[in-house]
Amino acid sequence: MSLPKLLLEKILSGLLPNEITEGDDLITRPGQKNASVLVPLVMRKQPNIILTKRPDTMLEHAGQIAFPGGKREEGESALDAALRETQEEIGILAKDINVIGRLPSFNAASNYRITPFVGIIDPGANIIPDSREVDDVFEVRLDYLMNSANHIARDVTYKDKKFTIFDMPYKSLDGKVRNIWGMTAMIIYRLYQRSFLKVFETDY
């Protein structure tokens, strides 16, 4: 088996089924809201993860590196929300996404209950970013993000509690350096934990 296939097998081994049957996404805090994201994988010469950069003009999360995702609408399933947000933000249609599983839902510092799904994108799918929500779309090699040497830990204090978060700086072939951090880095780290360490980080 080739290295890319072995890597994808590792990822698949760490995922839960798409269907949420155990109440994993139930609200656990007062005022909390549900949100979903998609971790989009695409096969080029090797598996890549598709990421976006938020515009610097946004009121929230300005300039941050992100996955497609957002708040779940009334009557919408967690998976439907992830697929809808992906189409709205970067134009990839549901028919071009093979959702292979999800990570356990978890509490974010922003008081959202996040459910991340992982989907394999058709390499021929059209990517059409919405300029109101997305300033740039780029890809990072999956093996780079699944290498713990590229996870730079730092301790922070939030609401009088101490947490370890991660920076994942990435230099693309054009020389541009992008720092993947915050919630996006935490989802990547959780994917690494489930796939390679068989554990899952606690909530914020």
Tokens found for residue 158: 């939030």
Spatial CB neighbours of 125, under 8 Å, sequence gap ≥ 6: 42, 92, 93, 96, 97
- Confidence at residue 160, expressed as pLDDT on a 0 to 100 scale: 81
121 part of a folded domain: yes
- Confidence at residue 193, expressed as pLDDT on a 0 to 100 scale: 94
The predicted-structure confidence for 77-97, as pLDDT tens digits, reads as follows: 999 999 999 999 999 999 999
Q: 24: helix, coil or strand?
A: coil
166 part of a folded domain: no
Q: 14: helix, coil or strand?
A: coil
141 part of a folded domain: yes
Domain that holds residue 140: 3-16+30-145
The predicted-structure confidence for 26-78, as pLDDT tens digits, reads as follows: 888 888 999 999 999 999 999 999 999 999 877 676 789 999 999 999 999 99
163 part of a folded domain: no
Tokens found for residue 153: 């830990």
The predicted-structure confidence for 132-149, as pLDDT tens digits, reads as follows: 999 999 999 999 999 999
Q: How many domains does the chain have?
A: 1
The CATH number of the domain holding residue 69 is 3.90.79.10
